[in-house]
Amino acid sequence: MNQLPKLLGFQLNNQEWFAENVSLLSIAQKYGTPCYVYSKQALIEAFSAYEGACLRLDGSRRARVHFAMKSNSNLAILDLFAGLGAGFDLVSGGELDRVIAAGASPAVCVFSGVGKSVAEISRALQVGVKCFNVESIPELTRINAVAKQLNLIAPISLRVNPDVDAKTHPYISTGLKDNKFGIAYESVLETYLAAKNMSHCNITGIDCHIGSQILDINPYIDALDRIFLLIKELRTHGIEIHHLDIGGGLGIDYGGEEAPNITDFANTLLNHIESCGFGDLEIIFEPGRSLVGNAGLLLTKVEYLKPTEAKNFCIVDAAMNDLMRPAMYEAFHHIEPVVQKAIPQNIYDVVGPVCETGDWLGKDRPLAVEPDDVLMILSAGAYGSSMSSNYNTRPRAAEVMVSDHQTYLIRERETIQSLFAGEHLLPKKNEG
Ligand code: LLP
């Protein structure tokens, strides 16, 4: 695996890389590095690929996309998807306020997550989210109590843990028995029965999410089949399910993976649902990575080349705090110079300035580079900026969107001052 992933919105022209005809080098010069760059065209194309399956020819809907905003929660991206008709999957009060700030309606937001606080639940009830994806009986009890206090009814869906193996990285696999996520398959019926008896809960749906970066469609079919059995069983207990949320998780090409085509993937699942007799349900997809992953990259500048006895290091100005995925999951991101030079290649470990051995962005990469060259780290649109941190008091990177051959700064680089603006010294002794 070290192939260039299939990219939309970014092209090589005369030995130089462009985002929608804007030179990436010029973006690095204008906005500085490290800098995330997104292609609006690529975002729209990925969204349209889902819509290709979700919309019927007559304009009616078979399903709706709820963007999993944890993958990238920049307001400009949320606003773009909201304008295209997306709903949202969110997992915190912070994400709820963010999506409202981007202009989306809470009525198209599903609220997932295993640890919703009382404050988060009451805010979500007051603004009127579409539903709570509930992950345990204690959570259900809490939601019911908060709704009762506010004199509101909470729409709820139970997140089923279908116990299928999505065959992905253990840290991003969520549908197995020993994950913290969802309600164990055998306990789902009793949990629905408990919910039915709660005065301030209204059962609206059922959902599952089996993991992330999934390249095989079969685990989805297995999970659906298990959920169909539950829906039938629930009916015999007088519980009607109105929506089925299949979760997200579709994988992307990072460097040679055979990722399923989005439209084919969504069509296969929707056809399966319809052929099994569940076509009357409202269907929800919750993709994150497959919408934004390959629509974004991270620009970084080479600071130093450091040959050592064992390795050559290419030390760049981006680090694990900017893109955590390699350090956290040993994830592969393809790395290329934005201007391809006719100089000899060397094999490098591409590393950042952070004081951790785990601070690497790519290992054993053939690169023809010199100090001050700009590199692009590909497939960084998902779980890149949204997972970034300020470790080593490093300001978070700028973010730029290219749209119609223009560049727009969609997030300013943080200032160093802002990083400690909320911190306070203890009073000195003589100040009392
Ligand atoms: N729905 C739920 C309930 C989720 O937990 C997730 C992701 C999604 C949807 C979207 O999944 P996607 O389509 O993006 O695969 N930080 C990791 C990925 C964590 C995924 C967490 N849940 C990474 O960088 O690979």
Q: Is residue 88 part of a domain?
A: no
87 lines ligand 1 (CB under 6 A): no
- If asked whether residues 242 and 389 sit together in one domain, one would say no
- Annotation says 355 is catalytic: yes
pLDDT single digits (tens) 130-139: 999 999 999 9
Q: What is the pLDDT of residues 138-185, one digit of tens each?
A: 999 999 999 999 999 999 999 999 988 776 666 566 656 667 789 999
Output the pLDDT for position 289. 98
Is the per-residue pLDDT at 91 higher than 70? yes
CA nearest neighbour of 339 among 20, 23, 5: 23
Domain region containing 323: 10-39+293-419
- Rounded to whole angstroms, the Cα distance separating 129 from 38 reads 29
Residues 263 and 326 in one domain: no
- Last residue of some domain: 287, 305, 336? 287
Q: 308: CA distance to ligand 1 center in Å?
A: 38
Three-state DSSP at 263 gives helix
User: Is 204 touching ligand 1 by the criterion CB < 6 Å?
Assistant: no
231 neighbors 18 (Cβ within 8 angstroms): no
Mean pLDDT of the chain: 95
Q: Which residue's CA is minimally distant from atom 19 of ligand 1?
A: 172
Bridge partners (DSSP) of residue 408 are 401
Residue 151 sits in the same domain as residue 252: yes
Residues 337 and 382 in one domain: yes
pLDDT at 163: 86
| Residue 82 placed within a domain | no
State pLDDT tens for residues 325-378.
999 999 999 999 999 999 999 999 999 999 999 999 999 999 999 999 999 999
pLDDT band at 432 (very low <50, low <70, confident <90, very high): low
Q: Is 211 in the pocket of ligand 1 (CB under 6 A)?
A: no
Catalytic residue among 131, 208, 276, 355: 355
Q: What is the pLDDT of residue 135?
A: 94
Residue 268: what pLDDT? 98
By most ligand atoms within 8 Å of CB, the mutation choice from 50, 174, 212, 323 for ligand 1 is 212
CA angle, residues 287, 291, 295, in degrees to nearest 5: 155
193-203 average pLDDT score: 97
pLDDT bracket for residue 6 (50, 70, 90):
confident
Strand 22-23, strand 374-377: pairing: unpaired
CATH number of the domain that residue 219 is part of: 3.20.20.10
Q: What is the DSSP string of 302-331?
A: EEEEEE-SS-EEEEES--TTT--HHHHH--
Residues 224 and 359 in one domain: no
Please identify, by atom number, the ligand 1 atom nearest to the C-alpha of residue 169.
Answer: 25
Q: Give the model's pLDDT for residue 97.
A: 98
Q: Are residues 205 and 237 in the same domain?
A: yes
- Does residue 209 share a domain with residue 183? yes
Same-domain check for residues 171 and 133: yes
Are residues 163 and 272 located together in one domain of the fold? yes
Asked whether residue 386 carries a pLDDT value surpassing 90, the answer given is yes
The model's pLDDT over 303-314, given as tens digits with 9 standing for 90+, comes to: 999 999 999 999
Domain boundary (269, 287, 305) is at 287
212 Cα to the center of ligand 1, angstroms: 5
Domains in the chain, number: 2
339: domain CATH number is: 2.40.37.10
pLDDT number for residue 168: 65
Q: Is 150 in the same domain as 247? A: yes
**pLDDT average, residue stretch 413-431:** 94
Tokens describing residue 159: 């997140």
